Structure 1
Amino acid sequence: MLLLALYIRLAIPYLGARGQVLGSFNLSQPQSSGCRVIPLDSKWPTLHEWAALNQSVGGRLIATVPAGSPCYKSTFDVSTGAYDLSTYDEAACATVQKSWHEPLFHEQSSSSVMQTYFAGDSCNPIADQSNGKCGIGNYNQYAIDVAGDDDVRVGLAFAQEHNVRILIKNTGHDYLGRSTGHGALALWTHHLKEISPVITNYQSNEYTGPALKVQAGIQVGEVYDFLEKQGYMAIGGECPTVGLAGGYIFAGGHAPTTSKLGLAADKILEIEGILANGSSFTATPDKYQDIYWFLSGSGSSGTIAYAKSVTFKIFKDFPISGAILTLPYAGIVTDDEFWSLVDTWHTLTPSITDAGGYAYAFYQTGYFQIWPLFVPDVTKKQTAALIQPFVNQLDELKGKYPKLAYNLTSYTYPTFNQAYKALFPPFQSGTYQWTSRLIPRNIITQQTDAVSQTFRTLFDDGATMVEAVMNPNLKVAQPLNNSVLPAWRTNIIDLVAGKPYNDSASFEDNTDAKKYITQHWTSALEQLAPASQGGGAYMNEADPDDPNWQQSIYGENYPRQLAIKRKYDPTGVWYAKTAVGSEYWAEDAEGRLCPADPAVS
């Protein structure tokens, strides 16, 4: 059996050194000032204390054993502080290697993350390590398999009592390293799977209509399947295994219906959660208004609070029409002719989004595809008209180059979910390191030469590029009061550029590639679409090392967001990379999370 985690089951009660019991508690600051403790520090909790925590959460404390450990001769044992676990298993290792880039493999782990880089080169199973040692590295040290609010309160109390880093881990879909950390205690929310019956007539001062309430562990595909049976659909991500009520929705959350309905965060009605001091809240546009505003667009649960459930608007289902176009062009058309095609494609993006449409365009060496063009509630003929100028230009090139063989397929589906399942293939995880930029309409339409030159420069420099065409403007989004990045409202293209992550390369080589992306590609995209002209970056796809991350990810909202962070989490219990307030913390050379002065960072 694949060894993913050890469960500690020792019958020792935990009340905490201050005697706090389950429920709200009051810790104004961590017991120890300065850095969070890590294993082997003198103030790291004892095994007795960890066992007591385990008892307090009903035996659901998990001591991390990295998912790649079956590929290593020995693995670090947190109970002995040595590499005492004999973990090598040839068959199990082969299973791990085969599954390493499959999201489902990592979702089922309380510690494993999909973006391999942020594990800190710990226990990479791809290279031959049959005689090596597997350390925990940057994985969380322990995780509580959360079953209810009391588990969260006990975890928060323990972390603050012992000055241990705490974070939230759901599915592990995270390109920025926010759901893992050296020496951390994770609140693992993946098994919180309650989903309410459809609320057909939700009523508030701001909205009357259908809604749905889901817990933090519910995933996009589960929501789509559930609602389709009831004749409804919701705004969710393109990957079915993403946790909908977690970092996806709180960071904004784009979807195939974004140009018609807006972002996922625009539809939030209520958020239930727990603050760092253990107190509960239900945030709406009328209650805890600042928490509601902050969480509806400012980032993941675990920035100012733990969010256990979200209630959001849903919509009557509708048909989908669209197209798929594939174009292998290597060795046939010239580079100039190909980029002229791209220019034509870009001229069509405003009309596509104005029609409520969405499209993915993929750029790879010698190959271009639009997969899919996805337009809600229109006919196949109307959809075809949206890209006809592009097709006409292709036909002209085909007359010149008979070997040019593009393929265009049209489709129509009676429900959103049927179209979604047919048109969005399974995603692999951890295969690329990314940067991205939201490019506004005025730049796409008025600075065509600069757009073309920037895209071409990145492509020629080895970038694999994916652009998502969408526009969640205020008219279609109709948001309640939220903190969604303002750049979203004028966006036409969300461009993502990436380098392959080399599992067999050294950690240093992959770090160098990551730095190159920041220094060359992130900077080029920021020059093309600066914040002053409406540019920005979608939090869940942003460059985690962007030196201008506050401006790129949060824009003009940041001063208010930081004030709310200080109000509800004044001592920085919650930390995540590029999260609001994270500039006041930094990891030292050994991975401790320590106070930092952003003026000198």
Structure 2
Amino acid sequence: MKFLYVINILLRCLVSVHCVNFPWESVHLTDNEVQGHPEIAFGNRPTPLMIFSNGTNTTTCKTYPGDINWPSLSIWNEFNKTLGGALIKSISPVSVCYRGVDYNAAKCAYVRENYANSTFETDDPAAPVAPWVEGNTCPLPPASGNASYTNSSCTSAGYPAYVVNATTVKHIQLAVNFARNTDIRLIIKNTGHDFLGKSVGAGSLSIWSHNLKGFKYLPSFSIGDYQGRAARVGSGMQSYEIQRSLIGLDATIVVPGGTTVGAIGGFFQGGGHSTLTSLYGLGSDQVLAINVVTADGRFITVDPDNNDDLLYAMRGGGPGTWGVVTSVIYKAHELTPISTSPIRFAGAAPGKNNTAFPLEAFWAGIRAYFKFSPQICDRGGIGYNFIKHEGTNNDTLTFTADLRMPFMSVKEVRAFAAPLIKELNKVGLNITNPVPTHDTGIAFTLGSIGDKVGNSRFATRLFPRKNFEDEDKLDSTTRAIHSFVDGGYNFHGINYCPTEEVAGYPDNAVNPAFRKTAMHAEAFDTSPAIGPAAEQIARYQRFRKYFQGFIDVSPGAGCYLNEADVAEPNWQQAFYGDNYKRLLRIKKDRDPWGLFWMPTGVGSEDWEVKAPGGLPTQNGRLCKIFG
């Protein structure tokens, strides 16, 4: 009997979530450790514990550096001791380029060389990939004028006050409890690939989860209704790291297309699109179980048998809102090779570019591609396309599209693209059917480490499939994009269809607009979000005027909340659709303190950041809105 008991335990461990935890997930904060230390005590709902108050136990703003109730240096030092020295004083990495105490010529040269590479920002404890979201408080100075740039020109004001370099669950629990009990704003950063300011915040305490690395392949896994391949993945893992971990396993995992993007965190919590979206669904559709530290500081497992409210909310209901993820169990699929067919053509006005086609034919070709695009989805592929202004005086428009088709040979994908090429020829674009490329399923996503980064604002729209299947809607959609491009802007579209059927009919909080879309459209303001506030606002207003056409031709649709305009009107509907009411109930129940706040997150309408100049940055106090 004892032998059978042991065998039963072992068999259960083969499928148990907790039996495959990473070593750093076994280091927890205990109830005994917080006795006599109210600043790190666990939360007791429904009233937040305000250790450092202004005498009334109520405040209108989160505690901010310089406030009378801001923890003293001795308290921060004591907190650092409980963390084992994991507390980092936040500072912009660019400060070494400014004359003053931080100036260092050699380090500044390194910053200049690497600043445009996303690896630079992802490996920094506090720096965002898009500096405008923190208010451009420490911009990179011109290379020829260092002497005139003093330390006062680099304030790092939009950065967190302190960062916890989390390498154990205990680190996260301590940070969560300390922030909640001192009423300090709390943020979470993994890589900083964030375009809305979710991973930055002035005067905040930041949890840096970037170093929670780990990967364990589970060739046979069972949980709830799922039986198949899976993997446990640490929340600090980036796309390229997961791909490297898969080498030799004959398996594929849905990861972001950007090599340095964090794959386990904001990606799946916001939806998460990839090259395999039309075949396997979104990142949210891959998650089987989650280990997470919640707002009360407790470390819990979220799966079909435990905390099912959070299983719904965290899969698509927004990053930075529900807790700090330490690891997930993710679906794995068979090795998925992909063949890619490139489509290229250009258009220009007469006399501007003799190698380009007339603009009338160019836009007729765009319409023909859009009409063809639902077929890409139906075969499990995606169409990755751009319309850009190029040429010496931006006098040429270029269209590039890559049809990325899984489980197709080079011959098959060329035959698949042939009808599209025929239609393009018919409207006056004399191009040939190109020879596709083929990737085995691993090299395709390994890529080079370090995506290029930018610092401009943009907006997105999930165009419904009907916009490309109905002739009248197709015309109006093409005209809207045409008008936007004529305004001087660039356009990026990704054709994919993560329908309920493709996703396996999951009960999760993915924006319902995703289930009906056939193109994720991204509209870019090509001007950097820098300069005086009034100028930035004027540029933004012009941009939104041209973007309005996208909304007009897709009433009731929505946006991808991870890639969007932070000032999107009616964002509750645009980002969450009909799921918002249910999500708000879960938020109020799970986080009555309002600890996990991010712009456009569930429940965020109750707070606002007092940023200078009226810009939607995170450079300011986070304050409660009354009335």
Shared fold, TM over 0.5: yes
Corresponding residue number in structure 2 for 1:228: 247
Please list the CA deviations of residues 379-416 of structure 1 after superposition, one character each: whole Å capped at 9, or x if unmatched. Answer: 223322333233224445778xxxx7778341122x21
Q: For residues 268 and 538 of structure 2, what CA distance do their matches in structure 1 show? A: 32
Corresponding residue number in structure 1 for 2:514: 488
Corresponding residue number in structure 1 for 2:418: 388
In 2 relative to 1, CA 166–567 (structure 1 residues): closer, same or farther, beyond 3 Å?
Answer: same
Corresponding residue number in structure 1 for 2:582: 560
Q: 2:462 aligns with which of 433, 438, 441?
A: 438
Matched, 1:351 2:369: no
Contact 1:341 1:390 in 2 (8 A): no
SS in 1 for 2:271: coil
Please list the CA deviations of residues 454-487 of structure 1 after superposition, one character each: whole Å capped at 9, or x if unmatched. Answer: 0001100111111001001112111432111111
Corresponding residue number in structure 2 for 1:596: 625
Please list the CA deviations of residues 352-374 of structure 1 after superposition, one character each: whole Å capped at 9, or x if unmatched. Answer: 11011112111112243434211
Note the aligned Cα RMSD (angstroms): 2.3
Matched, 1:290 2:309: yes
Please list the CA deviations of residues 38-62 of structure 1 after superposition, one character each: whole Å capped at 9, or x if unmatched. Answer: 1111111111111111111110100
Corresponding residue number in structure 2 for 1:454: 480
Contact 1:107 1:171 in 2 (8 A): yes
Matched, 1:525 2:544: no
Corresponding residue number in structure 1 for 2:528: 502
SS in 1 for 2:605: helix
SS in 2 for 1:387: helix
In 2 relative to 1, CA 348–58 (structure 1 residues): closer, same or farther, beyond 3 Å?
Answer: same
Q: For residues 210 and 551 of structure 2, what CA distance do their matches in structure 1 show? A: 35
Corresponding residue number in structure 2 for 1:142: 162
Contact 1:23 1:279 in 2 (8 A): no
Please list the CA deviations of residues 402-447 of structure 1 after superposition, one character each: whole Å capped at 9, or x if unmatched. Answer: xx7778341122x21222346x996311243210000011112210
Q: For residues 226 and 210 of structure 2, what CA distance do their matches in structure 1 show? A: 30
Matched, 1:205 2:224: yes
Q: 2:609 aligns with which of 584, 587, 594?
A: 587
The one-letter amino acid paired with 1:580 is: V
Corresponding residue number in structure 2 for 1:308: 326
In 2 relative to 1, CA 421–407 (structure 1 residues): closer, same or farther, beyond 3 Å?
Answer: farther
Corresponding residue number in structure 2 for 1:3: none
Contact 2:318 2:601 in 1 (8 A): yes
Corresponding residue number in structure 2 for 1:427: 451
SS in 2 for 1:495: strand
Q: For residues 149 and 435 of structure 1, what CA distance do their matches in structure 2 show? A: 36
SS in 2 for 1:541: coil
The one-letter amino acid paired with 1:537 is: C
Q: For residues 125 and 471 of structure 1, what CA distance do their matches in structure 2 show? A: 40
The one-letter amino acid paired with 2:366 is: V
SS in 2 for 1:594: strand
Corresponding residue number in structure 1 for 2:345: 327
Please list the CA deviations of residues 30-84 of structure 1 after superposition, one character each: whole Å capped at 9, or x if unmatched. Answer: 514221121111111111111111111110100012111012113xxxxxxxxxx
Q: For residues 112 and 104 of structure 1, what CA distance do their matches in structure 2 show? A: 11
Q: 2:117 aligns with which of 102, 108, 114?
A: 102
User: Unpaired runs of 5+ in structure 2?
Assistant: 1-31, 390-395, 613-619
In 2 relative to 1, CA 426–367 (structure 1 residues): closer, same or farther, beyond 3 Å?
Answer: farther
Please list the CA deviations of residues 204-255 of structure 1 after superposition, one character each: whole Å capped at 9, or x if unmatched. Answer: 2310111001111011111112113211011111101111111001111111
Q: For residues 36 and 201 of structure 2, what CA distance do their matches in structure 1 show? A: 26
Matched, 1:318 2:336: yes
Q: For residues 80 and 240 of structure 2, what CA distance do their matches in structure 1 show? A: 32
Q: Return the offset for 1:24.
A: 4.0
Corresponding residue number in structure 1 for 2:21: none
Corresponding residue number in structure 2 for 1:247: 266
In 2 relative to 1, CA 502–249 (structure 1 residues): closer, same or farther, beyond 3 Å?
Answer: same
Q: 1:193 aligns with which of 182, 188, 213?
A: 213
SS in 2 for 1:68: helix
Q: Return the offset for 1:121.
A: 2.1
Q: For residues 262 and 503 of structure 1, what CA distance do their matches in structure 2 show? A: 33
Q: For residues 203 and 135 of structure 1, what CA distance do their matches in structure 2 show? A: 51
Corresponding residue number in structure 1 for 2:195: 175
Q: For residues 268 and 18 of structure 1, what CA distance do their matches in structure 2 show? A: 38
Aligned length: 562
In 2 relative to 1, CA 30–575 (structure 1 residues): closer, same or farther, beyond 3 Å?
Answer: farther
Contact 2:40 2:181 in 1 (8 A): no
Q: Return the offset for 1:566.
A: 0.2
Q: 1:569 aligns with which of 573, 591, 598?
A: 591
Q: For residues 595 and 531 of structure 2, what CA distance do their matches in structure 1 show? A: 35
In 2 relative to 1, CA 41–521 (structure 1 residues): closer, same or farther, beyond 3 Å?
Answer: farther
Q: 1:342 aligns with which of 362, 366, 385?
A: 366
Q: For residues 253 and 562 of structure 2, what CA distance do their matches in structure 1 show? A: 19
Corresponding residue number in structure 1 for 2:564: 542
Corresponding residue number in structure 2 for 1:63: 89
SS in 1 for 2:240: helix
In 2 relative to 1, CA 425–277 (structure 1 residues): closer, same or farther, beyond 3 Å?
Answer: closer
In 2 relative to 1, CA 162–17 (structure 1 residues): closer, same or farther, beyond 3 Å?
Answer: farther
Q: 1:470 aligns with which of 474, 477, 496?
A: 496
In 2 relative to 1, CA 498–264 (structure 1 residues): closer, same or farther, beyond 3 Å?
Answer: same
SS in 1 for 2:261: coil
Q: Return the offset for 1:511.
A: 4.3
Pairs within 5 Å for 1:357-372: 357-365=381-389, 366-372=396-402
Q: TM-score, normalising length from structure 1?
A: 0.89
Q: For residues 538 and 131 of structure 2, what CA distance do their matches in structure 1 show? A: 15
Q: For residues 211 and 307 of structure 1, what CA distance do their matches in structure 2 show? A: 18
Please list the CA deviations of residues 317-363 of structure 1 after superposition, one character each: whole Å capped at 9, or x if unmatched. Answer: 03211212232333332222111000000111111110111121111
Matched, 1:271 2:297: no
Q: Return the offset for 1:195.
A: 1.4
Q: For residues 94 and 530 of structure 1, what CA distance do their matches in structure 2 show? A: 49
In 2 relative to 1, CA 496–61 (structure 1 residues): closer, same or farther, beyond 3 Å?
Answer: same
The one-letter amino acid paired with 1:485 is: N
The sequence identity of aligned pairs, in percent, is 28
Q: More deviation in 59-68 or 149-158?
A: 149-158
Corresponding residue number in structure 2 for 1:5: none
Q: 2:132 aligns with which of 111, 117, 131?
A: 117
Contact 2:456 2:529 in 1 (8 A): no
The one-letter amino acid paired with 1:563 is: R
Matched, 1:39 2:65: yes
In 2 relative to 1, CA 269–224 (structure 1 residues): closer, same or farther, beyond 3 Å?
Answer: same
Please list the CA deviations of residues 166-215 of structure 1 after superposition, one character each: whole Å capped at 9, or x if unmatched. Answer: 1101100001100000100000000000212x111111231011100111
Q: Return the offset for 1:289.
A: 0.6
Q: For residues 228 and 255 of structure 2, what CA distance do their matches in structure 1 show? A: 18
In 2 relative to 1, CA 371–396 (structure 1 residues): closer, same or farther, beyond 3 Å?
Answer: closer
The one-letter amino acid paired with 1:60 is: A
Contact 1:299 1:579 in 2 (8 A): yes
In 2 relative to 1, CA 501–58 (structure 1 residues): closer, same or farther, beyond 3 Å?
Answer: farther
The one-letter amino acid paired with 2:311 is: Y
SS in 2 for 1:144: strand
Q: More deviation in 119-128 or 580-589?
A: 119-128
The one-letter amino acid paired with 1:142 is: Y
